[in-house]
Amino acid sequence: MILMSKEKVLQELINKAKESSKKAYAPYSEFKVGAALLMKSGKIYTGCNVEFSDYLALHAEMNAIGTAVNNGEKDIQVVIVYSYSSPPVLPCGSCRQKLNEFSLLYEHDIEVIAVNKKNEQIKMMLSELLPVGEIKIEKKKN
């Protein structure tokens, strides 16, 4: 088995997120986004945003998570979000919370990288994007 360097894996993720962004259905905003998830298994799952006239869109990250889970995968290591905007776009609060569900499930942080067509990048850990995501609410005892 040939192991790829981290740089090559990240470039493959970026390429897959970019390709996915081209498939986005965004007739209202024309804001196309693609996402790629690298799982602990080494598999990659992608998703793109899908808009509807009621403004309740499916975000690229949501679609990628759904595809991964549908294939029996939940242990997310890296998330790439690709957009054409400058600066690059990080996951929204709702997507951060969805990613956090899997971060808590496997008790590790997730690397999040936002990239755009100019190859500008923002790299952060999910815990930086959602700093209080690990707080557990204690139930009151009667």
Strands (E), 30-127: 33-39, 44-48, 76-83, 111-116, 121-125
Q: Tell me whether the omega of the peptide bond preceding residue 91 falls within 30 degrees of 0, making it cis.
A: no
Instruction: Show me where the domains of the chain are located.
Output: 6-129
- What's residue 62's pLDDT? 97
List, for residues 67-126, the tens digit of each pLDDT value.
999 999 999 999 999 999 999 999 999 999 999 999 999 999 999 999 999 999 999 999
| CATH architecture of structural domain 6-129 | 3-Layer(aba) Sandwich (3.40)
- What's residue 3's pLDDT? 66
What is the rounded CA–CA span in Å between residue 101 and residue 4? 28
List, for residues 24-73, the tens digit of each pLDDT value.
999 999 999 999 999 999 999 999 999 999 989 999 999 999 999 999 99
pTM of the model: 0.91
pLDDT at 1 over 80: no
Active site members = 61
